[in-house]
Amino acid sequence: MTDASPPVRCDESATDRWLLDLKTPCYVLDPTVALARFADLRARLGTPLIVSLKANPNLDLLIRCGHAFTDGVELASLGELDIVAGRINAPKYVNNPSMDEAFMRAALASRCTFIIDSLEQAQRLIQVIGKHPAPHTVLRLNAGLLVASGKHPTDHFGMSQHDALLTAGVLSRANVPVIGLHTFAGSNSFHIDDKGAADLAHALAAFAPQIARLTGKPVEFLNVGGGFADHYHSQPDTFDAYRQRIAPLQKSFKVVHESGRGIFAGAGTFVTRVRSVKPLGERYVAVCDGGLSHNFLLAKTESMLKKYAEPRLLRRQPAPVDASQLPIQFVGSTCSRADVIGWSHGLSAPPSVGDLVIFDNCGAYNQTYSVSGFLSLSPAHTYIHQS
């Protein structure tokens, strides 16, 4: 359950001090930021924008933002479908290669559009449909095979063009409409200064007539995914060149994008409290009550080169003036050597017990992608506030 919090702005001014009264570790989510990021990214792209709910499936945040997500939401689990059922009137797209019969039946009842990952998944869906009305389907193409340029990884998602044609034929013979094509090159894969995302859109468009010849009906839309970085809006380049490249396709297709990270990342802050401080070698170590069990992504365990975040510090008392200015390593509350969540090289003094360590841009995946169960630690609290 999400806790209540005062409707004040979370920034580095004196108003930050309300954070000191929160139960930590915690996430503070701001729906006004999510709404602004959604509107901004949609305008920059010049296309509809489907929201990937797996980035942040918090119910209280959805209640405050869902009305704006009129282009639709993408759902990757039965749990996410349960969250939006009865709360979202926009189109719902279900997308998971491991979708079982229970998930399929629930998605059919909710009139979702199915993004089909394989021929076998299409065959299973046909069996589940039975005498029920057939849903709309979208075929997912593997990005690495769709554009054989080496720009995109050949991961385990989607189909080859050959298998997509077989799947379209099977669905068509079962009177299940194929209305669109989908591909996705992966997280942080969208770049303004190359043609990667636009090439995917053009490749889908070039393949669409083959699907239409099999089904006897035109492909209505192309979903080219997203892959937008946390700080997409801070890039010096604009989206003008990208919009120009996909503009010819919009004469024949409805081109759409999807995003989770680009919308939610800046709408969340992770707050943890210092429990112990010690000098160790040429650094201070600040042990916090929250770590990789609450914010796994901060620990950078999946990164070859670890570039740790530099948090903000909210002190309970003014910093001592005669303190040594050594680097500060922020670590979590587990017994794992990997539980390092941040570094700071610019503080005038080390933190004190009770000070708050604040990490911005933690609204997408940070909470849900984290380890659960290790040391039987309680999950992080969640607060909603509006700036």
Lowest mean pLDDT among 102-106, 174-178, 368-372: 368-372
Give pLDDT, residue 236: 63
Contact 190, 232 (CB under 8 A): yes
> Looking at the predicted structure, is the pLDDT value of residue 58 above 50?
yes
Over residues 110-132, mean pLDDT: 96
Give pLDDT, residue 322: 62
What is the per-residue pLDDT across 144-180, written as a single tens digit (0 to 9) for each?
999 876 677 788 999 999 999 999 999 999 999 999 9
Listed in order, the ranges of the chain carrying CATH 2.40.37.10 are 14-27+265-384
> Looking at the predicted structure, is the pLDDT value of residue 387 above 90?
no
What is the per-residue pLDDT across 192-251, written as a single tens digit (0 to 9) for each?
766 678 999 999 999 999 999 999 999 999 999 998 988 887 766 778 989 999 999 999
DSSP of 104-160 = HHHHHHTTPEEEE--HHHHHHHHHHHTTSPPPPEEEEBPHHHHSTTSSS---SSSB-
> Looking at the predicted structure, is the pLDDT value of residue 374 above 90?
no
* Of residues 25 and 5, more confidently modeled: 25
Across-strand partners of 265? none
Question: How many CA atoms does the CB half-sphere of 121 hold within 13 Å?
Answer: 23
Give pLDDT, residue 13: 47
Task: Give me the residue label for tokens 């509350």.
Answer: 333
Omega into 25 within 30° of 0, i.e. cis?
yes
Q: In the chain, what is the straight-line distance between the N-terminal and C-terminal CA atoms, in Å?
A: 21
* Of residues 370 and 61, more confidently modeled: 61
> Looking at the predicted structure, is the pLDDT value of residue 3 above 70?
no
Contact 135, 113 (CB under 8 A): yes
Give pLDDT, residue 191: 77
Listed in order, the ranges of the chain carrying CATH 3.20.20.10 are 57-259
Query: Which helix or strand (DSSP H or E) is residue 206 part of?
Result: helix 196-215
Q: What gap in Å lies between CA 209 and CA 205, rounded to an integer?
A: 8
- How long a stretch of residues is the chain? 387
Give pLDDT, residue 194: 64
Q: What gap in Å lies between CA 170 and CA 177, rounded to an integer?
A: 11
pLDDT-derived band at 187, boundaries 50, 70, 90: confident
Contact 362, 58 (CB under 8 A): no
Q: Name every residue whose Cβ is closer than 8 Å to that of residue 287 and which is 6 or more positions away in sequence.
A: 274, 275, 276, 277, 278, 331, 332, 333
Give pLDDT, residue 14: 54
Q: Which fold has domain 57-259?
A: TIM Barrel (3.20.20)
Q: Return the closest-CA partner of residue 50 out of 77, 65, 71, 29.
A: 71
DSSP of 13-79 = SGGGGGGGGS-SSEEEE-HHHHHHHHHHHHHHHTS-EEEEGGG---HHHHHHHGGG-TT-EEE-SHH
Task: Give me the residue label for tokens 């792209």.
Answer: 45
What is the per-residue pLDDT across 237-288, written as a single tens digit (0 to 9) for each?
778 989 999 999 999 999 999 999 999 999 999 999 999 999 999 999 999 9
For residue 169, the SS3 value is helix
Over residues 62-73, mean pLDDT: 97
pLDDT-derived band at 6, boundaries 50, 70, 90: very low
- Quickly count helices (H) and strands (E) in the chain: 10, 16
Contact 56, 36 (CB under 8 A): no
Helices 196-215 & 161-173, crossing angle to 10 degrees? 40
pLDDT-derived band at 370, boundaries 50, 70, 90: confident
Give pLDDT, residue 149: 66
| Class of domain 14-27+265-384 as given by CATH | mainly beta
Mean residue pLDDT across the chain: 91
> Looking at the predicted structure, is the pLDDT value of residue 2 above 60?
no
> Looking at the predicted structure, is the pLDDT value of residue 1 above 60?
no
Mapping DSSP onto H, E and C, the string for 267-280 reads HEEEEEEEEEEEEE
Contact 96, 125 (CB under 8 A): no
Over residues 287-310, mean pLDDT: 92
Contact 142, 165 (CB under 8 A): no
Across-strand partners of 318? none
